[in-house]
Amino acid sequence: MIERLGIVGGGQMGAGIAEVAARAGSSVLVMEVNADLAERSLSRLTTSLDRAVSKGKLPESDRDSTLGRITYTTHLGDFGDRQLAIEAVTEDEGLKLDIFRSLDRAMPADAILASNTSSIPITRLAAATERPESVVGMHFFNPVPVMGLMELVTTVRTDAPIADAAEAYGSDVLGKTVIRAKDRGGFIVNMLLVPYLVGGIRMLEQGVATREDIDAGMRLGANHPMGPLELSDYIGLDTMKLVADVLFEEFKEAMYASPPLLSRMVEAGLLGRKTGAGFYDYPA
């Protein structure tokens, strides 16, 4: 049974995974690059727990015990007692490869190394280690405390007991519905989702309809909670472009190619909700 979890990256995804794991009883150690980012991550996590308390979904005592199971570090060397590590940094393959090399040196020989990547093939990350048989993808969805899905991605080198242990942690401990995917760019969800989102951006770029009508069409016509442009802003247009670029490199199919409009918006710093402006404006 996995009881000690390490998370590399305390951003939106890392903090969300930490919250869910600590609420489930795991000892969680989060690594950030400096004390300021660690403090920001803890603040984000605390705000999320306080929100759950205010809505009556979490007793105050459970919030306090959850926070008591979470600690922060700025050194990967502190992961020496962790049974599972989940990398949850930005979709930058070079950065992820560096992290996996460091985790390989820091983690116990029998530990599982996982990535929360939404698109980068796990085989590439596993090849940076001396234990490719112990590497999997554990892809969570934002916001992690709310979304009930985890994609488990295995490679041709992943040992079956490792995959089973990762799945059991996701389902039995974290309470997620776990779906298994082969190691292909985008896995299941993004392999289907990205062409849809990119298609919405192309429709706007080509003047087929306004942003409001494109989004209303999918909200009201397909019963989606958000339209493609709203969802792209929520994900972050920089992340959207990174994922689309990985998928295009993997499959060489036009439906995955970043539209020029998306590229120009990223270059202009219009990244969606995170910057206050994307396809829509988001006042502070």
Q: Which residues are catalytic?
A: 118, 139, 151, 190
Question: What tokens were used for 178?
Answer: 């776990």
- Share of the chain residues as helix, strand and coil, in percent rounded to the nearest 5: 50, 15, 35
Cα(224)–Cα(38) distance, integer angstroms: 35
The span from the first CA to the last CA of the chain, in angstroms, equals 43
Residue 223 — φ and ψ, nearest 5°? 60, 35
Residue 197 — φ and ψ, nearest 5°? -65, -45
Residue 107 — φ and ψ, nearest 5°? -85, 150
Amino acid at 253: E
Sign of CA dihedral 274, 140, 29, 157: negative
Contact 116, 98 (CB under 8 A): no
Sign of CA dihedral 176, 177, 183, 189: negative
Contact 244, 194 (CB under 8 A): yes
Residue with tokens 């605390």: 46
